Amino acid sequence: MIERHFERINGYHGPLPKRATYGSAGYDIAAAKTVVINPGQITLIPTGINVKMGHYEYLDLISRSSLPRKKHLVMPNSVGIIDSDYYPNEIMGQFWNIGDQPVVINAGDRIMQGIFRAYMVADNDDAQGYRTGGFGSTGKENEDNE
DSSP 15-78: PPPB-SSTT--SEEEE-SS-EEE-TT-EEEEE-SEEEE--TTEEEEEEE-TTHHHHH-EE-TTS
Asked if residue 140 is part of any domain, the answer here is no
Taking only the tens place, the pLDDT of each residue in 41-95 is 999 999 999 999 999 999 999 999 999 999 999 999 999 999 999 999 999 999 9
Total of domains in the chain: 1
Asked if residue 91 is part of any domain, the answer here is yes
What's the distance, Cα to Cα, between the start and end of the chain in Å? 40
For the domain that residue 56 is a member of, what is the CATH number? 2.70.40.10
Asked if residue 55 is part of any domain, the answer here is yes
Output the CA–CA distances (angstroms, integers) from residue 144 to 66, 85, 89, 137, 139, in the order listed: 38, 21, 22, 11, 9
Asked if residue 133 is part of any domain, the answer here is no
Asked if residue 70 is part of any domain, the answer here is yes
The alpha carbon of 24 is separated from its chain's Cα centroid by a whole number of angstroms, namely 18
Q: Domain containing 61: what range?
A: 5-120
Q: What percent of the chain has pLDDT over 70?
A: 88
Q: So what's the pLDDT on residue 140?
A: 55
pTM of the model: 0.85
Asked if residue 20 is part of any domain, the answer here is yes
Asked if residue 135 is part of any domain, the answer here is no
Asked if residue 128 is part of any domain, the answer here is no
Taking only the tens place, the pLDDT of each residue in 115-134 is 999 999 999 998 887 667 66
Q: What is the mean pLDDT of residues 105-116?
A: 97
